[in-house]
A = this chain, B = another copy of it.
Amino acid sequence: MTTASESPVTITASDAENQPERTPELEALYRGFESELLIPLWTEIGDLMPPAPRSKASAHLWRWNTLLPMAERAGELVPVGRGGERRAIALANPGLAGRPFATPTLWAAIQYLNPGEDAPVHRHTQNAFRFVVEGEGVWTVVNGDPVAMRRGDFLPQAGWNWHGHHNNTDRPMAWIDGLDIPFQYFGESTFFEFGPDEVETREAPEKSRSERLWAHPGLRPLTHLTPAPATPLLAYRWEYTDRALSDQLALEAEGYPATAGPGHAAVRYTNPTTGGDVMPTIRTEFHRLARDTETAAVREVGSSVYQVFEGSGQVSVGDVSWTVERGDLFVVPSWQPLHLSTEHGLDLFRFSDTPIFERLDQHRVQEDPK
């Protein structure tokens, strides 16, 4: 039971336009509101209904050469096992109240597994993926299907599938995880279950069974003919991504429309059963900027996380700019303009929450005038 004096609600002066004068009568009314757990719109509207999105999140950059040593040190000090579940260290956006959230909807972490280690099996409603900027040697085992992880591979892991990881080699491996943890946390839709403490298999095949069923362009097995909410393909190999991007740039050079913009090749990872995004809440793409390429400044509803895969370049997000290198991760908050340029070429992996806004008819995108 809350009383007026200890109500969780406090109504304070607002800087919104045209506020009523704070007479004693009005103050008494506000105290009454507080005791009854009521808050007027007119004191809050400026924060709640801005002319355009004002993200609480900041544009921020995390350097790979800072992240990786920290993950290595965690590899020495922190065991991986049941309870903690994963040796994953998340980006905590400085604008998001000290929570491990890269953006209001997205989680991004570096995960690290020592030789011979297992990350135990569990499942959760959160949609997840892994992306490998360097290294190899870990297999993620999804519903018993071991999936090799290697540089440049994108490995989706849709919600409510059993999964664990094992490192079969004598070297450690690091990679990044992306999930919709913050979105499901705010939305309160998360379920979680423990599986076995060890992965079902330590087999380490070159190709997962999912690839043997699904990684054939334009073909689907007759055993799976209905649209699935998320992709059944568990590995999108670098070989194909790289070739698709090179082909786009070559077509552009031959005079055909193929690129997202001049010098800017880009592919979206898709669910082969629908042609849509790989997962209901997360979009993933790979962008390649050729030498001496610059993009227009674009703002979009929703947030993104980028990781530099190769090359270097200049990134500006709103008023902030960085020179980025391999492995660096940066965040683009909602409706902040992103501008990219590179002298020597830049390969970027991107993930975003755009499907949420598209499916709910809230998406907007806009190119800023130069």
Contact = CB atoms under 8 A, between A and B. Distances in A.
B19 A186 contact: no
A244 B280 CA distance: 27
A99 interface: yes
B188 A303 contact: yes
B272 A19 contact: no
Interface residues of A, number: 145
Interface stretch (A129-137, A164-172, A221-229, A305-313): A221-229
Contact of A216 (B55, B267, B353): B267
A163 to B, nearest CB: 13
A209 B251 contact: yes
A interface secondary structure, majority = loop
Contact of A42 (B42, B54, B84, B278): B84
A126 B49 contact: yes
A85 B42 contact: yes
Contact of A49 (B29, B52, B190): B190
Given A23-B77, A51-B191, A223-B260, A37 B362 contact: no
B33 A86 contact: no
A41 B92 contact: no
B42 A189 contact: no
Question: What 6 pairs between A and B have smallest CB-CB spacing?
Answer: A18-B83, A42-B84, A17-B83, A39-B100, A188-B334, A212-B247
Interface of A: 2, 7-10, 16-20, 23, 25-26, 29, 32-33, 36-42, 44-45, 48-57, 60, 62, 66-67, 70, 73-74, 77-79, 81-95, 97-100, 104-105, 109, 124-126, 159, 181, 184-193, 209, 212-223, 225, 227, 229-231, 233, 236, 240-241, 243-244, 247-248, 250-251, 256-260, 266-275, 278, 280-281, 285, 301-303, 333-335, 353, 355-357, 359-364
